[in-house]
Amino acid sequence: MANNYGAPKTELGELGRVQDRITFLYLEHARLNRQDSAVTVTDQRGTVYIPAAMVSVLLLGPGVDITHRAMELIGDSGVSVVWVGEHGVRQYAHGRALGHSARFLEQQAKLVSNRRSRVMVARKMYQMRFPGEDVSELTMQQLRGKEGARVRRVYTEQSKRTGVTWEKREYKVDDFDSSTPINKALTAAHQALYGLSCSVIVALGASPGLGFVHTGHDLSFVYDFADLYKAQYSIPVAFQMTAKHGDNDIADWTRRGMRDAFADGKLLVQMVKDLKFLLDIDDGVTADTMHLWDDRQGLQKFGVQYHEFDSEDEQN
């Protein structure tokens, strides 16, 4: 009897790079299975085939059944899976993605664990939002106030541009339908942006929970990272979709608008560059090599039977 079960695992070299993939797909009321290197999606309209290695994130909504074989392929292909609620507005769980190297995670942990370096990274994030200004001497409190004023200004500008009335941001986690059309659109747009942000973070091997501005939540860094792009992507798309469609399937239209905006703006490519910039990661290719840590001798080879050496051999 054969001892191997399931399909052969996909080699890393066979996979599409994160920045070259489709940004996200939202699925609901469907069954997901696997055929060769594709995820099959079947509903009452028929079956479609999704090349797993070319998708960045799957948002799985209500009524989705997924097989073990599909999850096997998704995991091997580095696709981030996010289980969300109706309209994609609540995030329940997410799955591990591609990253095998710990260099992003180790660098992130190093930066977030030191007060000075943590403030430095936070200022980098704010500097990206104020490219024509120097924020290097501002305190975190000053930066928060400056960012708050910027976001309010963006809301006002988009309201004037689209003609959509704007009063204030309202979001009820358990009652999506009670919000105004523009608030529904903003919720759906932000959720799509969070999904893509999470996908890039975990695919490159960083931690969604080690935030520099946000803290204490398992998605703190996702919120940090997504905030860099709201003024350019989720807020304008939400106002545009609301102006065009009103309250008519606004969550669906907004997701489609976000998907198009991500593709047109090549946001995946930008996110990869920005994450490397924030964490000060060079572009050099580093092999996913396992080592053993030693407090005196530095990194040691992994896979060596050290119990076979005596103390004299080790010293030589």
Which CATH number is associated with domain 103-279? 1.20.120.920
Q: Which of 1-5, 110-114, 281-285 has the highest mean pLDDT?
A: 110-114
Which class is domain 15-94?
Answer: alpha beta
- The pLDDT assigned to 1 comes to 45
Report domain extents, the chain.
Answer: 15-94, 103-279
Task: Please tell me whether 227 is known to bind a ligand.
Answer: yes
pLDDT digits (tens, 9 = 90+) for 42-91: 999 999 998 877 777 788 888 999 999 998 888 777 777 878 777 666 66
DSSP the chain: -----SSPPPPGGGSPPGGGSEEEEEE-SEEEEEETTEEEEEETTEEEEEEGGGEEEEEE-TTEEE-HHHHHHHHHTT-EEEEE-GGG--EEEE---S----HHHHHHHHHHTSHHHHHHHHHHHHHHH-TTS--TT--HHHHHHHHHHHHHHHHHHHHHHH----------TT-GGGS-HHHHHHHHHHHHHHHHHHHHHHHTT--TT--SSS-SSTTHHHHHHHTTTIIIIIHHHHHHHHHHHTTSSHHHHHHHHHHHHHHHTTHHHHHHHHHHHHHT--SS------EE--TTT-SEESS--GGGS-HHHHH-
- The pLDDT assigned to 288 comes to 57
Task: Please tell me whether 214 is known to bind a ligand.
Answer: yes
Task: Please tell me whether 94 is known to bind a ligand.
Answer: no
Least confident piece of the model among 11-15, 25-29, 100-104, 164-168 = 11-15
Q: Which residue has the higher pLDDT, 235 or 316?
A: 235
pLDDT digits (tens, 9 = 90+) for 251-267: 999 999 998 999 899 89
Instruction: Specify the pTM.
Output: 0.73
pLDDT digits (tens, 9 = 90+) for 172-228: 777 777 889 999 999 999 989 998 898 788 878 899 999 999 999 989 999 999 999
